[in-house]
């Protein structure tokens, strides 16, 4: 489980990437965007990181496409 502040930081970063940059220009840029967005979540496993990373890219392309799924997955990680 993770701290709520870390989850909020990831949501902010993903929104920033989507609004500021839009769809990544290259695969390398995609990987950098994912790494930066998910950086606060240091305890993620490989599968969770891959799933959330795919959603980050979806959001960058279309900010409304996977928003609910993305936020829902992140909120499941929060320590209550």
Q: What is the pLDDT along the chain (80 residues), one digit of tens a residue?
A: 899 999 999 999 999 988 887 777 788 988 999 999 999 999 999 999 999 999 999 998 888 888 999 999 999 999 76
**What DSSP state is assigned to residue 23?**
S
Distance CA 19, CA 80 (A): 30
Q: Roughly what angle, to the nearest 10 degrees, separates helices 46-61 and 27-38?
A: 110
What's the structural domain count of the chain?
A: 1
pTM for this entry: 0.89
Distance CA 68, CA 55 (A): 10
The residue segments making up the domain with residue 66 are 4-76
């Amino acid at each position: 489980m993770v701290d709520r502040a870390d989850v909020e930081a990831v949501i902010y970063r993903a929104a920033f990437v989507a609004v500021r940059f839009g769809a990544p220009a290259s695969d390398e840029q995609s990987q950098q965007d994912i790494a930066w967005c998910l950086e606060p979540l240091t305890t993620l496993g490989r599968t969770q990181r891959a799933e959330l990373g795919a959603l980050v890219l979806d959001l960058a392309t279309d900010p409304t496409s996977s928003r609910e799924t993305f936020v829902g997955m992140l909120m499941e990680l929060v320590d209550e």
